[in-house]
Amino acid sequence: MAHPRYRHPARPGPRSRLGLLATASALVVGGATLAVTGAGTGGAAPVSAETAQVPVGSGGYTTALPGGASGPSDLNGNPVAPKVTDDFEGPAPTNEWWSSLIFQRYPDNPHGENLFAHPLSYLPHEGGLNMGYPDSHQLVGEGLKYEYTAVADLSLGVTGLESPDTRTADSGDWTVTAHWEGGGSTLRATIGQGLPFAYAETAGGDAEVTFTGTPEVWHQDGSTVGATVNGRHYALFAPSDAPWSLSGDTLTADTGDEGYYSVAALPSPEDLDAFAPYAHSFVTDSLVEYDYDESAATLTSTYRLETEAREGAETGTLTALYPHQWEHVTGDLTDLSYASPRGEMRVSEGATFTTELTTQGIMPSLPTVDSADHDRLATLIDEVLAEEELFPEPGDTYWDGKAMGRLAQLVPIADSIGHTEARDELLALVKGRLEGWLTADGTRRFHHDQTWGTMLGFPDSFGAATEINDHDFHYGYFVSAAAVVARYDRDWADEDAWGGMIRLLIDDVAGTDPDSDMFPRLRSFSPYAGHGWASGHAGFAAGNNQESSSEGMHFAAATATFGALTGDEELRDLGVYLHTTQASTIARYWQNQGGDTFPEDFDEDVVGMVWGDGGDYRIWWDGGHEEHYGINYLPITAGSLYLGHDPEHAGAVHESLVDKLGREPEIWRDIHWAHRALSDGEDALRMFEEQWQTYEPEAGESKPHTYQWVSTLAEVGNVDVSVTADTAHYAVFDNGSERSYTAFNPGSDPLTVTFSDGTTLRVAPGALGSTAGEGGGGDPGDGDPGPDPGEGNVGEGTLHLGADALTTEPDSAEGSVTVPDAGGRNQDGTPPADAVVLELKDLNGSFTGGDTSFALPVDSGNGVGNAVQVRVSYDFDGDGSHDREETHHYFPTNDLPGWEVYTESQGLSSGDGQFADLEGGSVRLEVWSALGGQDSEIRIGGGQGATLGIPFTD
């Protein structure tokens, strides 16, 4: 980011740049140090208030700036256009590791700032491109930042080149081609994240590589040179008919009018032979392809480089993988590696590699547990609604977004406790504010800037318009609020209603269409880095930066949920891809999970910001320790459960903050209670209960939301990532004694979710189902919702065994049913003709999401080797066919007279078919002897007779 997001206390109000950080904020421009100051609008050309409007469904946007507003600008407030070549195609990418090439933020620097591609760094200048391998770090800013400072070991160029600027000619998902032209010479260089090679194309002069020190040439064989400078090793490759010639510190090669050459950084001189085969296989493009397998809870990402053989036939290459990639790569890696600010990078051979990640589920909200004080929740919600200023001025894209998000979070909570009046009032408030923003002629509006290919909201803040900063942070609140509305009003989110505008905001941030003429591909997400970059222009000596990683995750979760609710699986899968990929990087790169990212001499346990050149504990304003930690937690939503995927690590991070403070958190305490709940819910609930009447919530939080969060997690326990499910929207918790299962059904038909441990959960359309608490429901659409509440006849789902049938009430007289012996046969899994069969028909009931249970008191007397077995069959619609059939493992009885209890804890032997609501259906119980030569008895009637529990209710 280029602006502070908060000041202490964290409430809306005047903002200024505070605590600007030493090395991170000093900009090297033309050899001079330029201090960054707040962006102004002075000098911007006056704009007419008359704006053209483009309708989109019920809303729309403008194609001209609102009167007095500024779009993308340089540091002096003057409008800027993308710095591209004539043959550049498509909208201009921003928020990249290389964006200072395309966005000239500083009027006196037409080339760009340091570019951190990892493992290499670059710096463009009038004569070409400086290149280096930062292989060691230093601590700066009183030890609060570690950085792998950019180094310049050599410069790629062409003889005679004097270029007035550096322009962008082309780009891929993580590669870029820069262009220089002047003095009769032309240079194009393609570089990228993970690429140990830089690829140069030349015209008008000879290839020229100048070292910044006297090189130690240890290999020279015509067109291939190996040299060491400043202790780092490089290989230079020219065409086979263009040998290198060394003069002083400069190597030249006669590459002709359409020449080329490549330069590679080598881990050691001995690795030259590993790189040489790929010297002329030039990378021309980069693309990530992802596939989400919902049923297998797996995200597969393939990173693909397009290459062109400039000489010979080799089209492969070498690529250095970040730790979050090589830990999950499916193929083999070489023994080559590099140092980087993210830890060790390991090298893959070939033009593609693939990673596989487990998708842990994205929930729209948490259930409200019975142990929470529902009356208190209702009162706290009413207190929020009674506030005088629910949308504090000035109401820009960020602060209004937070205000909408704060209210939207309360909608499912109010619904879950039956406070429907508050639910509907909250929905109306959120809808009204959203519609005000999504309407082109409102006081708040969105404008499409065709020059840059971006949606700009006005009023804006933190450089969202002038610098194209933070669009995922800001617009994520709009998308999440719209998802809550869509949960209760599907028509509102239709493409032809208000959903069309929401999709434009999503496309601005993370559109994937490579042929779009409105937006670049994946603007606010860097596929190779695995996270986003906040600054639109990346105009810093330290590269680009990402502070609030959690707000990037908020956008991803909101996109997945909005896509699912609107029936757009492609959009849902995009959200899952963004969320799952970022979850694999955040704990590692911001919190040093695993201990392999931060240097050993860096004393902090977290960083507030990840930079291109390293990590910084400090943030964009003079905040306290609570804010340094908490900026990468907020906003707390059900999409934040990833922060607890490793409860032990989450607990250690919380204790780290407490140790640093010497006390419990006081600033943003609700954010930290919510984070603490992911490792110790009871402790979080304790802190809330001790202070809930006196603390001030964080600007985007509320007391009822925090109370519901901590009370739920105190009961259900920690996130259990060992269990997955066959839906995109689920979560599993474990409190040490039992698991709780939750899932959300965004569709219009009942859904049975199957978890990897065999548990199934039936979820009504538009509802959140849970085995612990109430999740609330939405608008189910046109699907069959099943029986209405109160129309069933199964009570709470307890059936009783009678002499010849199942009943809903037990017989008052105690008795028994005889189960014939097995006659010495093994009848495991196969009920014989003489099995006891008990049935109950014409049943109506709503599926609860639970499982079959039973308690059968049985006795085989003194018989040896006897075993009793059970099968339960369901016919949900009364058509005479069994829709679900469960066979349970047999129960070996002992050889002592007396009742033993056979229960479902023996486990399922087999289970076929999915649960559905009972509508005139039936339940059938079969009991037989699986083994043994003696009859057994089942106790029925009275107060201790056999029961069958079915997962249905009236």
Q: Where residue 785 falls among pLDDT bands split at 50, 70, 90?
A: very low
- Among residues 170, 425, 467, 551, the one annotated as catalytic is 551
CA distance 147 to 610: 10
Q: Where residue 220 falls among pLDDT bands split at 50, 70, 90?
A: very high
CA dihedral sign of residues 942, 947, 949, 953: negative
In the prediction, which pLDDT does 892 show?
A: 96
Taking residues 302-320, report their average pLDDT. Answer: 97
798-953 matches 374-763 in CATH topology: no
* Domain 798-953: CATH architecture, name and number where available: Sandwich (2.60)
What is this structure's pTM? 0.81
Q: Where residue 777 falls among pLDDT bands split at 50, 70, 90?
A: confident
CA dihedral 626, 631, 635, 639 (to 10 degrees): -110
| Residue 455: C-alpha distances to residues 539, 549, 551 (Å) | 21, 21, 18
Taking residues 179-205, report their average pLDDT. Answer: 98
- Among residues 470, 507, 604, 627, the one annotated as catalytic is 470
What lies within 8 Å, CB to CB, of 69 at 6+ separation is: 47, 447, 458, 465
Taking residues 10-33, report their average pLDDT. Answer: 29
In the prediction, which pLDDT does 257 show?
A: 85
What lies within 8 Å, CB to CB, of 225 at 6+ separation is: 217, 219, 235, 236, 244, 246, 251
In the prediction, which pLDDT does 942 show?
A: 87
Q: Is the pLDDT of residue 47 over 90?
A: no
Q: Is the pLDDT of residue 254 over 90?
A: yes
Q: Is the pLDDT of residue 176 over 80?
A: yes
Q: Is the pLDDT of residue 786 over 90?
A: no
In the prediction, which pLDDT does 26 show?
A: 32
What is the pLDDT of the chain when averaged over all its residues? 92
Q: Is the pLDDT of residue 849 over 70?
A: yes
Specify which residues 251 forms β-bridges with: 209, 246
Q: Where residue 788 falls among pLDDT bands split at 50, 70, 90?
A: very low
Q: Is the pLDDT of residue 15 over 60?
A: no
Q: Which of 819, 839, 804, 815 is nearest to 943 (CA)?
A: 815
CA distance 305 to 429: 48
821 or 27, higher pLDDT: 821
The class (CATH top level) of 374-763 is: mainly alpha
- Domain coordinates in residue numbering, the chain: 374-763, 798-953
Q: Is the pLDDT of residue 29 over 50?
A: no
In the prediction, which pLDDT does 38 show?
A: 29
Specify which residues 928 forms β-bridges with: 869
Taking residues 643-666, report their average pLDDT. Answer: 98
551 is annotated as an active-site residue:
yes
- Cα-flanking dihedrals φ and ψ of residue 104, to 5°? -85, 95
- Provide the residue count of the chain: 954
Q: Give residue-wise pLDDT tens across range 263-306.
A: 999 999 999 999 999 999 999 999 999 999 999 999 999 999 99
DSSP secondary structure of 636-679? P-GGGGGGGSSHHHHHHHHHHHHHHHTS---TTHHHHHHHHTTT
Structure-token pair, residue 833: 């003709």
CA distance 661 to 668: 13
470 is annotated as an active-site residue:
yes
Q: Give residue-wise pLDDT tens across range 706-734.
A: 999 999 999 999 999 999 999 999 999 99
547 is annotated as an active-site residue:
yes
- Residue 454 in 3-state DSSP? strand
Q: Give residue-wise pLDDT tens across range 553-611.
A: 999 999 999 999 999 999 999 999 999 999 999 999 999 999 999 999 999 999 999 99
- Among residues 173, 396, 472, 547, the one annotated as catalytic is 547
Q: Where residue 850 falls among pLDDT bands split at 50, 70, 90?
A: confident
Q: Which of 349, 327, 323 is nearest to 336 (CA)?
A: 349
| Widest pairwise Cα distance in the chain | 109
First vs last Cα of the chain: how many Å apart?
54
In the prediction, which pLDDT does 4 show?
A: 35
